[in-house]
Amino acid sequence: MNNYYIIELFYKNRNQELAVPMAKYMKNNFDFLGMKKPERMELSKEFIKESKKAKEIDWEFIDKCFELPEREFQYLSITYMDAVKNLFTADDMDKMGELIMTKSWWDSVDAISPIVGYICMKYPHIKEEVIDKWIFSDNIWLKRVSILFQLKYKGKTDTDFLSKAILNNSDTNEFFVDKAIGWALREYSKTNKEWVGNFIENNSLSKLSVKEGSKYL
């Protein structure tokens, strides 16, 4: 199936009046078509439905969407990736890392992170072989994903790995890393309040991380 028709469809439905404030909200880091999420999802509904029948990942389409200047195409690519996430294997993790570092901002990175989490749940060895390296990367977005990829794991959270990811990044003074630490702790506190409370009490974390992580304690 030719996936490129959806790109043309998006361009036909651009709205310049909405594009300006949407770009402003994202600190003018990206151009926008001016399509909000409900419209994007409606336009891509059939495309996503068909994509779920695919037997292999269309990396050419993913890369094309990340090359295009308008941010909605990165959102479309990630929505597509989520639809075919069962097709990803450990061999795709290098490409996944490249996407995380491409046109990086919280919106794209935080949408890719649960897909990484899904793949790691399916192939547990990826944690040690790939995500462990992200913990020590110089790239703050790889660091962020190494902290957040278990966000939906609940009782299956590997707390040793979470501790490692947090403690090796607790002194970066990077807002998006500190925020991720707090978010991960806050989310896990819904599952194990005692563990999170003890972790915060016994480790040196930024004020932001503590504030965010303590919300439900």
pLDDT tens digits along 83-110: 999 999 999 999 999 999 999 999 999 9
Closest alpha carbon to 202 in 170, 175, 173: 170
Q: What is the reported pLDDT for 3?
A: 84
Interval 13-49: pLDDT, tens: 999 999 999 999 999 999 999 999 999 999 999 999 9
3-state secondary structure at position 120: helix
Residue 126 to residue 46: CA distance in whole angstroms: 32
Q: At what angle are helices 193-202 and 175-189 packed, to 10 degrees?
A: 140
Terminal C-alpha separation, the chain: 50
**From the centroid of its chain, how far is CA 71?**
15
Residue 172 to residue 153: CA distance in whole angstroms: 25
Interval 109-123: pLDDT, tens: 999 999 999 999 999
Identify whether the C-beta of residue 134 lies closer than 8 Å to the C-beta of residue 145: yes
Residue 197 to residue 66: CA distance in whole angstroms: 40
Phi, psi for 17 (deg, rounded to 5) = -65, -40
Q: Which residues pair with 70 in a beta bridge?
A: 31
Q: What is the reported pLDDT for 2?
A: 74
Q: What does DSSP assign to residue 28?
A: T
